[in-house]
Every structure is written in C-alpha cells, then in structure tokens.
Amino acid sequence: MRREFIKLFDDIMELATKYDPSEVEGKWYQYWLEHGLFKSVPDGREPYTIVIPPPNVTGVLHMGHMLNNTIQDILVRRARMTGRNACWVPGTDHASIATEAKVVAKLAAGGIGKSDLTREEFLEHAWDWTREHGGIILEQLKKLGASCDWDRTCFTMDGKRSESVIRVFVDLFNKGKIYRGVRMVNWDPKALTALSDEEVIYREQKGKLYYLRYRLDGGEGGYAVVATTRPETIMGDTAMCINPNDPKNRHLRGKKVIVPLVNRVIPVIEDDYVDIEFGTGCLKVTPAHDVNDYMLGEKYSLPSIDIFNDDGTISPAGEIYIGMDRFDVRTRIVKDLEAAGLLEKVEDYTNKVGFSERTDVPIEPKLSMQWFLKMEALAAPALEAVMDGTIRFYPAKFKNTYRHWMENIKDWCISRQLWWGHRIPAYYLPEGGYVVAGTEDEALRLARAKSGDGGLTLADLRQDGDCLDTWFSSWLWPISVFDGINNPDNGDINYYYPTNDLVTAPEIIFFWVARMIMSGFEYRDKPCFRNVYFTGIVRDKLGRKMSKSLGNSPDPIQLMDKYGADGVRMGMLLSSPAGNDLPFDETLCEQGRNFNNKIWNALRLVKGWEVADDAPQPDSARVAVEWFDARLAAAMEQVGGELGKYRISEALMTVYKLFWDEFSSWYLEMVKPAYQQPVDSATYRATLAFFEKLAWLLHPFMPFITEEVWQSISERRPGESLMVMQMPDVAERNEPLVADFEVVKQIVAGVRSVRLERNIPNREALVLHVVSGGHNHRHDAVIAKMCNLENIVRAAKEVSAAPFMVGTAEYAVPLGGAIDVDGEIAKMEQEITYLEGFLQSVMKKLGNEKFVANAKPEVVANERKKQADAESKIKTLRESVAKLVIND
C-alpha cells in the first residue's frame, strides 16, 4: 500500500512541545495591528459598534477593567466573524477630580502649592502629567487582546470632544435648560468642589446623638432640648422648629430660644415636617448646612449663616472655633457644652453619612453658586426608551433601579470648582450680568450687544473660573467619538450610530448610562445604543470588593504574564454571569491555562499522525465524523443563542465542554489510529476541519491560542487571520444522531466500569451481549473500538456475565469464569433500592392533583416516562437477581 506521509518529522517539529503564551500573544497582536485587522471604515455591511467606557486617563488596568473589556472584545470579535463591520472605539476620560488631585499631590511633593501657580501654569503641569501617564492603560488593554480601532482613539479633552462639550453647553443654555443659581449642593472639602447627588456614597456610621439645651429667651427660665448628630453646626442655627401637632412641645409656640455658646436668639417655628418621635421633637434649623433645613429656611424666609470655609474649617461667620476643622470642633464643642451645663445627654446612634465618591471624605451640604442642568424634560424620552424595550438592559432587573431614579430625578449640578476640565463658557460683564458663548469673539459680540457698550474689549470680560463635571463630557461619548455634535451629518455618525452594545458596571447607571441615553435623544433623536450589559463587581474569595486599600486585588499584568491573556480571560468569564458579582479565584486562571495546554496537546496529537491517502476510512471513524459534525452544528447554534442573550459565561462553557469532553475525550479517541498505524486521509481532513471550526467558535473568548492553532493547521497567505474568517459551513442539526451517541457513551462507560471493577486490561478483547431492550447496531463499530470488543450480539445473559443497564436496555459482558454471585446480587439490590426511592418521589408528584392539573403537559409526560423507565429497570434487575439465586 502506497502511503503519502503528510506533515512528517520536520513539520511536526514546528509545533512547540509546550504552549508558551509569552511567545505567541505579542506576536499575533502585532500581526493583527500590522495588517489593519482592527480598523473599520463605513461600507455596505451592517455595522456593529461599541464605544469603550473611557477609563481615567491616568489610570492603570484593574480587575474590573479586565472583565469589562474582555466581554467587549468577545462581542466585537464575534460580530466581526459573523459578517458585520465591527468598530470598537477606544479612549480615555480626563477625570477632573482624580487627575487634578494627582497633579496637586505631585506639585506638593516638590514644594509647590496650587495657589502658587496661575491657572495656565497649573494646566501645563496637568497636561504634562496626562501625556506622561495617559497611554498606559490603553497599552495594557492591548496585552489583554482588545481589538479596538486604535486609529479612532479619543480623549474627552481632545480638540473635537472639547468643542462638542462647549457647543452642547451653549445650546442647552440657549434652550433655557442650563441655569445659574445659589443652591444647596454636596461639597467635597478635600477636592474643594461641588458634587452631583450621584457622586455621593451613603454609608452607615456608628456615631452619637447629642441632646443640647437651648435656653428660653425672655428670662422665663427653662430650656428646650434638641437632639442632633452634628453639634458643630449650632453656630449656623437660625431657628428651632416643632411640629404643630406635638402636644409635648406646645408650650414652645411663639417663643424664642438662645443658641448655646454663641447666644444668638432665634425663633421657634412650626412645621409638620418635624418627626414627633425623633429625639425630643425639637429640630435645630441650620439652612446653610442641611438640605431639609434649607427648604425650611426658604419656606419661612430664615437667614442663612455659612459657618464653613471650603476646606471644612470654621469661617469667621461661625464666631467661635474659627479656623478649626469641623471634626475637631465636634470634639471640642461637646466638652464646652458640658462645661456650660448645656449638654443633657449623649446616646449611641447609627445613621447614614454621605461620602465623596472620589476622595472618600464626608461631604458637607453647602449653599453655593453653581450651574445646573434641568433634567425633567431630558429624562422623559430616556425613561420611556428603557421601559418600552427600545433599549434593553441585561439583566433586566436593573430596569426598576433605572425607573426609580429617573422618576425622581433632580437637576444636575454641572459645575466643579476645578481647573482641570472644560472651562464653563460664561463671561461676566464689568457692570454685572453675563453671556454664554462658544468662543471669545462670540462672547465679546454678545457682551457688547447686551451692555450697549461697543467699546468693550476681551480684557473687560471675565470668564467663569469653574469647570464642567467630567460626566458632562462623557455623557456625549457615543456621539462625540464620531464627531456627531460638531458635524451632525458626517459619514461616520450616520453609519455607526446608534451603537449596538454598551458594557458597563451598574454603579454608574446614573452617572453615565442614563445621561448618555438622554443626550442621544436630545441630539440625535435616537437611542445611543440598543443593549446595555451590566457586569458584576469583581470580589475576592471572601466576598470583599477588590480594592487597592484592602490589598486584595491581583495585578492584571502579572496575572497575564503568569497564565497568558487567554488564560486570564477565561478565568474571568468562568464565574461572571451578567449583573452578578464575580468571586474571582486565581485558580480559575490556572484552569484557563490548562485549557490552552489541552488545545495545544490535541493539535500536536493530530498533527503527529501519519496519513495514508489510499487507506479506506473505517466505519468507526466515518460514524464518529458524522456524529461530531452534528454535535458541532448543535453547539454552534447553542453558542449563538447564548451570546444573543448575553449569556457570555454560558457560551464559553458550551465551547469548553464541546472541546474538552466531546472533541478531545470522545471524538479523538474514536478516530485516532492504532499504535504506529496511519490514519486515513478522509478522517484526517475531517479532523483538521473540525479543529478549524472549533478554533473559530472559541476565538472571541481566547483569541491568541486560536489564531496560533488556525495558522498551524495549514499554510496561510500573508494577512490572513482567523479573526476575520466568516462562519464556517456546518452540517444540518441531527438531534436523533446526537441522542443516539449519548446512549453509545453510556454503553462504553458501562463496559469500562466492568473492566475497572474486574481489573480486566484494556488490551484484552471482550464480547458484549445485548440481553434485553432496544439497541441500534449502526454505531457498533464505534462501541467496539472504544471498548476493544470482538463482537456485539444479542444473547441471553450468562450466569457468569457482568450486567449493566443503559436506559431500559440490559447489557452483559461474559466473563467466562466464576463470578462473585453475592457481590453481584448486592450491587443489583442496591440499585433496586435507589430506583424504588426515585420511583416513590415520582409517584408522589404524579399523585398530586394540583401538579397534574397545572403543570405543562410535556412536564407531566416526562414524569410518566420517568415512572415507566424506573419500573422497567426494577423489573429487569429483579429478574437478574432471581436468575443468579436459582443458579447459585
């Protein structure tokens, strides 16, 4: 027989003995870049678009980024491989508060204070810092395998994005949606800026409730007692309030009281806002430092005394403790009140305290002149789009969270007292008033028109010193990355917008997701994306959120160096269903690395076979090829369905099991040639074709090893890549064949159990008897090969045979000698006991009239089938026991 040996020794040597990610991953990423495989330009194909949630420009990769960007890359690669024009736009966020804080810290380390510099000088330092650190996280994403169109990289403070932000501010101002006014805001005493409500994190704190005595004015004697958690704010009290329906405080009606220590006389007012049951029912009213007190102050025209400087120290308006920090004052004032006989008692008390999301210091409610965006009208179409399914949330549970916030939305404080960011385009006139304009020339024109003074110059105007909230730039992101604000009819925005999917964390559903939806309807009259996939929070094995402060977050770069990017990607995905927290364990990355090795070893096995082009295909191999073709078709459909529902972890597990269990453990065992024998060319070609299809299916999840495998299977032309290969042809789904092979597996498992229990070597050929029940002889060749059987025949069970059951069919392996009758009877009786218990549970369910009446017909039918199968197995086993007893 003439043999043509394909892939001889020299070719085999090309495949490394062990898969080494460090030699593979960088090589293929550079290959993809050099051949422009991530690039996208508008064409006739259906677009698929994702915009990256822009990480902080000075940030580095953390585990949350790893999870988020792995999922995005899977979606983008899958879209690219299914014929769509995939465009993944990367970029970074200027992160006003975080970046300014880092620059200030760096300057302070060099002995320079922010106040020592002009605004322009400070911004030079900030830009230097950004240029030095700004590209780090994007380079780290490349190591992960992110297939972004890097030519489209954007920055929220680059030219086009900055122009977009200013245009939108001017437009919304001209529409009457942006206004300026003194309002109660959340003040960050560390960052020295106002915050929006969404930037405040409330945490339960164990504190104290202080009962303070306010003497009655007018020489009457006596006092009213107020319970407060913040005695340090009494210097700002301008009234006491009681509930008009509170009988215990009725004697205070119309009275005045004296604020402790500062001795200010304040009126007692009445309002049913006061909770009669809290404390004593008397409320100190501090309009400048409490949101609810501010509303009472507005209602009753109370004066407002701001006792705090911007840094949280006491201002001269506080009269006492001037210059002391607010928390130092709390300690001191309690001692002074006690010394003055004005502290009645102190109780332990737990309440919720607002902390700055950025600096993690307690915020200070503060009256401040700020810029606000009216939200109610903007929110209406954005709420409707999510509730009617125009925009879909995965998982859907976040719709209720979104709805609650949108229905109770407040105006957005968009100004920040910072220098790093988009400066508010408002210009103040010398004689009062202001104009809003996109350019200095336009501001001058408007100022001259408003003032009637044609001699005004730019030097006469003063631009507002505040910056816009960082989110005011990122809310435009899906539009601005395609320059859709400045050029609303350009080719990119018309082709790529609306985007398809957004992958983000649920904690920024209000900061970012909701606001992007609003801007989409305001400026494109369309939703900005179709689907939102919410990732979970990455936690450690103890359930704690990973963070630098806890020291429980591994370095993603070190993980990728140790396990390879593919291994880490798989490890992240193995336990991250949408919206649920991810209990990360490094052993999952090890499992990912092991899977890499499994794939590589399988490839080396197949590529190491000798191939005879004139050898006939064995029946076992022919049937195995038919089966795996059908199994692959079913898996491809299943994976497509799971990805369509954003069940990404489940999709990966489907492919994992298909390769590890079905392909490696079953198919390759069915078709591999005997020791030192060649494989026929038909089976070899089919096996390589399966390998290519498996690589295609797995590529979005593990792009590097699959590219290496695909390139190793056959010679490719320069520029060819698996990542742009379209869906391969697969066989029609054949459910009966797949189901038949599940029976084949059980028969093989039964024979192997007999070998194991009887210590029969695999090299010793056996015979298999079909004792009773149905058996499909079409697959006997596979069973015979996998079990080393001489024959499979229907025959009566011999006394010395070892029986086993598959479904309701009984099989037996003749052993040709004495068997342990007692042992066999004991095993069968144990199985009978189990089946009787199982049958009892089924009968109990079928005996429940409500279950039978209300369950779906197919569910009831399945239970009846379980009953019949169990009864049949019990009958067969009892007959087998009886025969052994008779012949013993």
> What's the angle, vertex CA 829, arms to CA 825 and CA 831, rounded to 5?
120
- Output 868 or 655, whichever has higher pLDDT: 655
> In one letter, which amino acid is 816?
G
Pair 468, 416: CB distance under 8 Å: yes
Residue 549: what pLDDT? 64
Render 393-425 in DSSP notation, one character per residue. Answer: EESTTHHHHHHHHHHT---EE-EES-SSS-B--
Helix (H) or strand (E) holding 558: helix 556-563
Cis ω before 53 (30° cut-off from 0) = no
Q: What are phi and psi of 111, to 5 degrees?
A: 80, 20
> In one letter, which amino acid is 709?
V
pLDDT higher than threshold 60 for residue 611: yes
What pTM was estimated for this model as a whole?
Answer: 0.83
Q: What are phi and psi of 229, to 5 degrees?
A: -90, -10
Q: CA-to-CA distance for 698 and 702, rounded, in angstroms?
A: 6
| Helix residue ranges, H only, 267-309 | 291-300
pLDDT higher than threshold 50 for residue 264: yes
**Distances in whole angstroms, Cα of residue 504 to Cα of each of 38, 510, 532:** 22, 12, 7
List, in sequence order, every residue forming a beta bridge with 258; answer none if it has no partner: 215, 265
Q: CA-to-CA distance for 734 and 713, rounded, in angstroms?
A: 27
Average pLDDT, the chain: 91
Through-space distance between the first and last CA atoms of the chain, rounded to whole angstroms: 54
Pair 356, 199: CB distance under 8 Å: yes
- How are beta strands 282-285 and 467-468 bridged, if at all? unpaired
Angle between helices 136-144 and 556-563 (to 10 degrees): 30
Residue 825: what pLDDT? 80
Predicted confidence band of residue 367 (pLDDT cuts 50, 70, 90): confident
**Region 541-557: what's the mean pLDDT?**
79
Residue 526: what pLDDT? 94
> In one letter, which amino acid is 721?
S
Q: CA-to-CA distance for 405 and 392, rounded, in angstroms?
A: 17
- Output 48 or 97, whichever has higher pLDDT: 48
Predicted confidence band of residue 342 (pLDDT cuts 50, 70, 90): very high
- Output 552 or 683, whichever has higher pLDDT: 683
pLDDT tens profile 281-297? 999 999 999 888 998 99
Going by C-alpha positions, the residue among 413, 364, 308 that lies closest to residue 187 is 364
pLDDT tens profile 399-441? 999 999 999 999 999 999 999 999 999 999 998 899 999 999 9
Residue 358: what pLDDT? 79
Residue 83: what pLDDT? 94
Region for residue 579 given its phi and psi (left: phi exceeds 0; alpha: psi -120 to 50; beta: otherwise): left
**Region 185-202: what's the mean pLDDT?**
87
Residue 7: what pLDDT? 38
- Strand ranges in 245-298 using DSSP code E only, listed in sequence order: 256-258, 265-270, 282-285
Predicted confidence band of residue 886 (pLDDT cuts 50, 70, 90): low
Pair 780, 792: CB distance under 8 Å: yes
- Strand ranges in 437-554 using DSSP code E only, listed in sequence order: 462-463, 467-468, 499-504, 529-534, 538-539
List, in sequence order, every residue forming a beta bridge with 22; answer none if it has no partner: none
Residue 3: what pLDDT? 40
Q: Is 838 exposed, middle or buried (0-12, 13-18, 19+ CB in 10 A)?
A: middle
pLDDT higher than threshold 50 for residue 12: no
Q: CA-to-CA distance for 478 and 84, rounded, in angstroms?
A: 19
Q: Report the 10 Å Cβ neighbour count for 530.
A: 14
Q: 637: Cβ–Cβ under 8 A, 6 or more apart, which residues?
A: 733
Which residue in this structure is represented by tokens 């002995």?
Answer: 111
Q: Which two tokens stand for residue 397?
A: 């549970």
Percent of the chain surpassing pLDDT 90: 71
**Region 159-178: what's the mean pLDDT?**
97
Predicted confidence band of residue 685 (pLDDT cuts 50, 70, 90): very high
Residue 527: what pLDDT? 95
Q: Which two tokens stand for residue 426?
A: 């408002």
Which residue in this structure is represented by tokens 């200095």?
Answer: 440
pLDDT tens profile 28-62? 999 999 999 999 999 999 999 999 999 998 888 88
**Region 174-184: what's the mean pLDDT?**
92
Residue 197: what pLDDT? 81
pLDDT tens profile 618-676? 999 999 999 999 999 999 999 999 999 999 999 999 999 999 999 999 999 999 998 88
Residue 55: what pLDDT? 92
Residue 850: what pLDDT? 83
Pair 308, 229: CB distance under 8 Å: no
Cis ω before 231 (30° cut-off from 0) = no
Residue 867: what pLDDT? 85
- Output 109 or 543, whichever has higher pLDDT: 109
Going by C-alpha positions, the residue among 420, 383, 261, 390 that lies closest to residue 333 is 261
Pair 18, 593: CB distance under 8 Å: no
Poorest-pLDDT segment among 235-249, 344-358, 835-849? 835-849
Residue 676: what pLDDT? 86
Helix (H) or strand (E) holding 85: strand 85-89
**Beta-carbon-side half-sphere exposure of residue 217 (alpha carbons within 13 Å):** 16
**Region 266-294: what's the mean pLDDT?**
92
**Distances in whole angstroms, Cα of residue 605 to Cα of each of 17, 619, 625:** 11, 21, 17
Q: What are phi and psi of 681, to 5 degrees?
A: -65, -35
- How are beta strands 193-195 and 178-188 bridged, if at all? antiparallel
- How are beta strands 178-188 and 364-373 bridged, if at all? antiparallel
pLDDT tens profile 708-756? 999 999 999 999 999 999 988 777 888 999 999 999 999 999 999 999 8
Q: 36: Cβ–Cβ under 8 A, 6 or more apart, which residues?
A: none
- Output 423 or 221, whichever has higher pLDDT: 423
Q: 443: Cβ–Cβ under 8 A, 6 or more apart, which residues?
A: 425, 427, 435, 436, 437, 458, 461, 463
Q: Quote the distance between the C-alpha of residue 582 and its chain's center.
A: 9
> What's the angle, vertex CA 78, arms to CA 72 and CA 79, rounded to 5?
90
Q: Report the 10 Å Cβ neighbour count for 110.
A: 7
Q: Which two tokens stand for residue 372?
A: 């606000």
pLDDT higher than threshold 90 for residue 89: yes
- Output 408 or 873, whichever has higher pLDDT: 408
Predicted confidence band of residue 884 (pLDDT cuts 50, 70, 90): low
Predicted confidence band of residue 819 (pLDDT cuts 50, 70, 90): low
Poorest-pLDDT segment among 209-223, 303-317, 444-458? 209-223
Neighbour-count burial for 409-445, b at 16+ CB within 10 Å, e otherwise: bebbbbbbbbbbbbbbbbbbbeeeebbbbeeeeebbe
Residue 1: what pLDDT? 36
Q: Which two tokens stand for residue 102?
A: 């880092």
Predicted confidence band of residue 818 (pLDDT cuts 50, 70, 90): very low
Q: Using only C-alpha atoms, what is the Rg of the chain?
A: 37
Residue 445: what pLDDT? 96
